[in-house]
Each structure stands twice: as C-alpha cells, then as structure tokens.
Homo-oligomer: A and B are copies of this chain.
Amino acid sequence: TCGHKANIMKITDGLFLECFYEVAKEFPELKADDVIVDDLCMKLVTRPDLFDVVVMTNLQGDIVSDLCAGLVGGLGFAPSANIGDHICIFEAVHGTAPDIAGKNIANPTALLLSGLTMLRHLGFMESAATIENSLLYTLEQGIHTGDFGDKSIPSVNTTQFAEAVIANFGKKPKQGEKPSFPNKEKTPTNFKLDKNPMLVSAEMENEHIIGVDLFIESIEQPELIAKKCERHAGVKFKLINISNRGTQVWPTGSIYTNLVNQYNVRFESLDDEALTQQDVLGLYISMSGNFKICSSELLNKWGSKKAYSLAQGQ
C-alpha cells in the first residue's frame, strides 16, 4: 500500500504515487494499492489489520510510524532499519531520551528488536530467532520496565530486563514463536566509490519550459497587479493567474479573501511553444522593475505532460 497526499501535494506526492505503481509493475506477485494518508490514519486506528506494508514519503512516514508505534504500545517497542546500497542503519525509532539517561530505566525492547533486524540482515538467522523467542518469552512472563505492562507487578530496570532475556535463551514463547532458519552466507563488500553516483532521469530530454511562477511582494490590489503584469508579459508570455496564499484572486476571486503582501503570479507561453531560459530571464528582469521577486519556479512539460499542478481555479 502506498500512503500519500497526492490529491493535494500533486507534484511531490503525485510523482511518488506514480513511481510506486511504476515499480509495482515489476513485482506482479505483490498486490499494490494506495490510500490517502488521512484515510490511512483513520483506518490504522479502526482496522490496523487492513495493512501489511505501507510505502510513504519521509514527512508522512514519520507521522504514521509514530502512530503505529502508539498502536503497539509506544516507542519502546518500535524498531527501525534503514537499508542503503552501501550503508545500513538499525536503530530504535525513539530518540536518545536525555531526560532518563544514566538512570537504568529505559525499555530496551525497541533496540533489541532493531538488533534482531540487523542480525537477520547480516545472515545470523539462528541467533536472531534465539534472542527473539527469549524476548517474547520474557514479555509473556510479565517482566517489564516502568513504561509498560501490568502495574500490579513491580517493574524491573534495564539491566534486570536484559538479564532476564539472557536467562531465557532457549525458551519458546506460547505465542508468535519465531522459526529458526539456518544462517545465510554473508557477502563481504569493500565497494569503494571515487565519485558520487549520478542518477539521471530518463525524462530529461523531453523536458521543456512552458511558463514560470513568480512570487512577488506587493501591497496592491489584484486588479492593479494584473494590469502591470500584463504589460510585462510582452510578446512571449500571457498572464494566467494570480493567487494569494493558494487562493485565486485574479482573473476571478472573492472580495472577502484576506490578502497578504505575497502574491504568486503565473505566466505561461503565449503560443504554448517551448520557452528558453532567456525568455524567462527577460520576464524576470522586466518584472523586477515593478516588484520585489522573492522566488521563482519554472513550469516544465515532460513531453505533453505538465510537470506542475494547475493553480486553484485555473
């Protein structure tokens, strides 16, 4: 399942969703579907069993992973693995918790589970199964640090919890026992790069400039700004749209929209022909005579496909 906000974040999440389905084609044996992140969060609290693997951008994955950690009992139980081509990082998702540092009261479960993921990644399948079964057995015994578990049973400290896990090596939990697969051979890597790998997109060649968004500062009304912009548009551009805080204020718009002194002015090619950077530069220079330009953004097409979202109302 791909979790995304592609209905709103059309460029970033839209591309992410598109890539998801592109890659999914290579794995026809896996079921691929997607869900809007709002809906995902609602379903995770009502029907968490609906989901198996969720692929997300960092921004939303951060939020949803903490939500899921909450569902399984808190950050003390959430391991993580970052798998790269050359470097892997295995860590608990919780932070360093400086407020309890040195007090010997942390719950080591998340770090243990992260360690198990590392052992499996390295091929130590047998050791991982032994430790995981022992951990589950220990949890079943009701042994717990202060942050979770049955409050009627006294809690243990971090060292005692770890000692209990070690003492239980070889024991099997009643529920969720992990099978012990044979160890796998490790492939030694001493791969060394001499320059950064460059991932060149296949679509680059087809890309052409079709317009530009200019973010300007002004305390004037939209009608007056439009009049000035139309003069700057010259023979290459047409003024398409002016918006303020994401809301269209020209050519149509509500008189009740509160304006701030930051407008987005969208120009597109007058004849829908590809533009050059020189054309955009000409417009930029002309506009800068009248307005402070805070930011600019090229509008590109990849082949016949717009690589930008339409403005609200466009």
| Residues on A facing B (Cβ under 8 Å) | 5, 8, 37-39, 41-46, 59-60, 62-67, 69-71, 73-75, 84-87, 193-201, 204, 217, 219, 221-222, 249, 253, 255-261, 277-278, 281, 284-285, 288, 292-298, 300
- In the complex, which residues of chain B have a beta carbon less than 8 angstroms from the beta carbon of A261? 198-201, 204
CB distance from A205 to the nearest CB of B (A): 12
- From B62, B193, B219, give the contact of A198 (CB < 8 A): B219
- Once bound together, how far apart are the Cα atoms of A219 and B46, in whole Å? 47
- From B41, B87, B255, B298, give the contact of A295 (CB < 8 A): B298
- In the complex, which residues of chain B have a beta carbon less than 8 angstroms from the beta carbon of A249? 196
Closest 9 CB pairs of A and B: A42-B70, A38-B66, A45-B70, A41-B67, A42-B66, A295-B297, A46-B70, A198-B259, A196-B259
A277 touches B293 (CB 8 A): yes
- Once bound together, how far apart are the Cα atoms of A69 and B44, in whole Å? 11
CB distance from A216 to the nearest CB of B (A): 11
Question: How many copies make up the complex?
Answer: 2
B255 touches A194 (CB 8 A): yes
- In the complex, which residues of chain B have a beta carbon less than 8 angstroms from the beta carbon of A193? 255-256
CB distance from A118 to the nearest CB of B (A): 19
Which residue on B lies nearest to A93, using beta carbons? B38
B87 touches A67 (CB 8 A): no
Which residue on B lies nearest to A278, using beta carbons? B288
- Once bound together, how far apart are the Cα atoms of A45 and B62, in whole Å? 15
Which residue on B lies nearest to A37, using beta carbons? B63
CB distance from A71 to the nearest CB of B (A): 6
A41 touches B60 (CB 8 A): no
- From B38, B46, B257, give the contact of A63 (CB < 8 A): B38
